[in-house]
Amino acid sequence: MAFWNKDKEGSAPETNETQVLDVLKRVQDPDLHKDIVSLGFIRNLKIEDGVVSFDLNLTTPACPVKDQMRDEAVALVKALPGVQRVDVKLTAEVRQTPQLDRSALKGVRNIVAVGSGKGGVGKSTVAVNMAVALAQAGARVGLLDGDIYGPTTPIMLGIETAPKSVGNRMIPQESSGLKFMSMGLLVKSEQPLIWRGPMAHKALQQCLFDVDWGELDYLMVDLPPGTGDVHLTLAQAVPLTGAVIVTTPQDVGLRISMKTLRMFQQTKVPILGIVENMSYYICPHCDSKDYIFGQGGGRRAAEQLDLPFLGEVPLDLAIRTQSDMGAPIVLALPDAPSSRMLRDITERMAAQISIRNYSAPVLEVE
């Protein structure tokens, strides 16, 4: 049965707001398993002269299914009587992880740790590109280089200048759309940090709490290898939204990465997913794949542990080249296959954050 408003005999049927909302309830968010009307995603609905317009306000600007939900919504509304055009504006509002004390980082909505068990797996490269991909999607993003002893992210972002201070707080540097802080900006690149655990603990706290991060949707923290003082400091100092584990396909790399994963589990940090880096090498001459370090180790581990598998990143010369040049590949070569894969991984991680935040109660803080 069709419903419409009729001003006079013979006038064309007109759709009303109730009809629009009713059909939009058929559009489901595949991650949150609820319809977009019940989730409160529909904002600023207007109907005028056959044109229906509204905002589709998502949980993250990096939503992996935003185009799918928009297209489905447009098709459903356009089929209503009297509708000539449907205008949808995609917006996003990232929910904050519930926290007991947000005073020190009150403007930061989510803190995500990126860790691995051993060095040399490309963890920092993945963390930098994920952070840049979030910023490209429209999110407000910060990146903290938590690798106190071997900071490399300043090289990957092309930053060498030390941050300025205002009062007793440091102002983070900005590059590639990110706010950024690293011990590598505070000491000379060739100077080793011969510090005991308590000094590393204090350094991380200063880079975390004594920096004016401002308003951020996501603060990504690139951790050093292992499961030492820096990891425990972060897990105990702030309520982490979750952690991403970076591994390589071979058994030895995977086993060590699983130690970091279990450390996060023991400290009650949710695991957002596993990323497998250096998954395969693509021959530049024949495009064939060569699984140098084995195949499928990260995916199998995720399946065995019932954790999200975020994706595979190939062993790509362009990733290394762009990192050395201080230009992350997702920014410098956005259409490269590796860039697309890194963006897909980032979107899957952002979806996991939304799932966690929308399943947790919202805590009001004075």
| Beta strands at 271-282 and 309-315: parallel, antiparallel or unpaired | parallel
Distance CA 346, CA 338 (A): 12
**Do both 65 and 119 map to the same domain?**
no
pLDDT band of 340, cuts 50, 70, 90: very high
pLDDT at 33: 92
Q: What is the pTM of this model?
A: 0.87
Residues 73 and 133 in one domain: no
Tokens of 11: 């006038």
Residue 2 falls inside a structural domain = no
Beta bridge partners of 175: 178
pLDDT at residue 196 in the model: 53
Q: What is the pLDDT of residue 9?
A: 47
Residue 101 located in a structural domain: no
- Whether residues 59 and 193 share a domain: the answer is no
Asked if 46 and 74 sit in the same domain, the reply is yes
Residues 351, 251 within the same domain: yes
Do residues 344 and 313 lie in contact, with contact meaning Cβ atoms separated by under 8 Å? no
CA distance 142 to 217: 8
CA-wise closest residue to 329 among 130, 172, 63: 130
Q: Would you say residue 100 lies in a domain? A: no
Q: What CATH code is carried by the domain that includes residue 173? A: 3.40.50.300
Domain C-terminal end among 65, 92, 119: 92
Q: Is residue 55 part of a domain?
A: yes
Q: Is residue 318 part of a domain?
A: yes
Domain CATH for 23: 3.30.300.130
Do residue 165 and residue 39 come from a single domain? no
Output the pLDDT for position 4: 41
Average pLDDT taken over every residue of the chain: 85
In this structure, are residues 234 and 113 in contact, taking their beta carbons and an 8 Å threshold?
yes
**Neighbour-count burial for 295-330, b at 16+ CB within 10 Å, e otherwise:** bebbbebbeebebbbbbbbbbbebbeebbeebbbbb
Residues 291, 155 within the same domain: yes
How far is residue 102's CA from residue 106's CA, in Å, rounded to a whole number? 5
Tens-place pLDDT, residues 271-288:
999 999 999 887 777 777
**pLDDT at 319 exceeding the cut of 60:** yes
Q: For residue 178, tell me if it sits in a domain.
A: yes
CA distance 340 to 129: 11
Q: What percent of the chain has pLDDT over 70?
A: 86
Judged by average pLDDT, the poorest of 94-103, 168-177, 179-188 is 94-103
CB crowding 36-53: b at 16 or more within 10 Å, else e: bbebebbeeeebeeeebe
Residue finishing a domain among 57, 92, 127: 92
In this predicted structure, the answer to whether residue 1 has a pLDDT above a threshold of 60 is no
Higher pLDDT, 168 or 117: 168
- Structural domains in the chain (count): 2
Ranges 70-74, 199-203, 262-266, 338-342: which has the least confidence = 199-203
The 10s digit of each residue's pLDDT in 301-318 is 889 889 999 999 999 989
For 80-131, write each residue's pLDDT tens digit.
999 999 999 999 999 888 764 556 688 899 999 998 877 778 899 999 999 9
- Specify the higher pLDDT residue, 35 or 1: 35
Residue 139: the pLDDT is 97
Report the share of the chain in percent with pLDDT over 90: 52
For the stretch 201-250, pLDDT in tens is 677 788 888 899 999 999 999 988 766 667 777 777 788 899 999 988 87
Q: Is residue 9 part of a domain?
A: no
- Contact assessment for residue 143 and residue 238, using Cβ atoms and an 8 Å cutoff: no
Are 47 and 131 contained in the same domain? no
Distance CA 355, CA 231 (A): 24
Asked which of 62, 92, 122 is the last residue of a domain, the reply is 92
The Cβ of residue 65 has, within 10 Å, a number of other Cβ atoms equal to 15
Domain membership flag for residue 170: yes
- Considering the domain architecture, whether residues 44 and 148 belong to the same structural domain is answered as no
Q: What is the 3-state secondary structure (H, E, C) of the chain?
A: CCCCECCCCCCCCECCHHHHHHHHCCCEECCCCEECCCCCCEEEEEEECCEEEEEEEECCCCCCCHHHHHHHHHHHHHCCCCCCEEEEEEEECCCCCCCCCCCCCCCECCEEEEECCCCCCCHHHHHHHHHHHHHHHCCCEEEEECCCCCCCHHHHHCCCCCCCEECCEECCEEECCEEEEEHHHCCCCCCCCCCCHHHHHHHHHHHHHCECCCCECEEEEECCCCCCHHHHHHHHHCCCCEEEEEECCCHHHHHHHHHHHHHHHHCCCCEEEEEEEEEEEECCCCCCEECCCCCCHHHHHHHHHCCCEEEEEEECHHHHHHHHCCCCHHHHCCCCHHHHHHHHHHHHHHHHHHHHHHHCCCCCCC
- Residue 16, both tokens: 């009303």
**Residue 178 and residue 142 in contact, taking contact as beta carbons nearer than 8 Å:** yes
Please, are residues 254 and 298 in contact by the beta-carbon 8 Å criterion? yes
- Dump pLDDT digits (tens) for 34-64: 999 999 999 999 999 999 999 999 999 999 9
69 and 199 assigned to the same domain: no
pLDDT of residue 227: 61
Q: Which of 113, 130, 110, 102 is nearest to 59 (CA)?
A: 110
Looking at residue 201, its pLDDT comes to: 62
User: Domain check: are 162 and 54 in the same one?
Assistant: no
Where in the sequence is the domain holding 231, given as residue range(s)? 111-359
Does residue 153 sit in the same domain as residue 204? yes
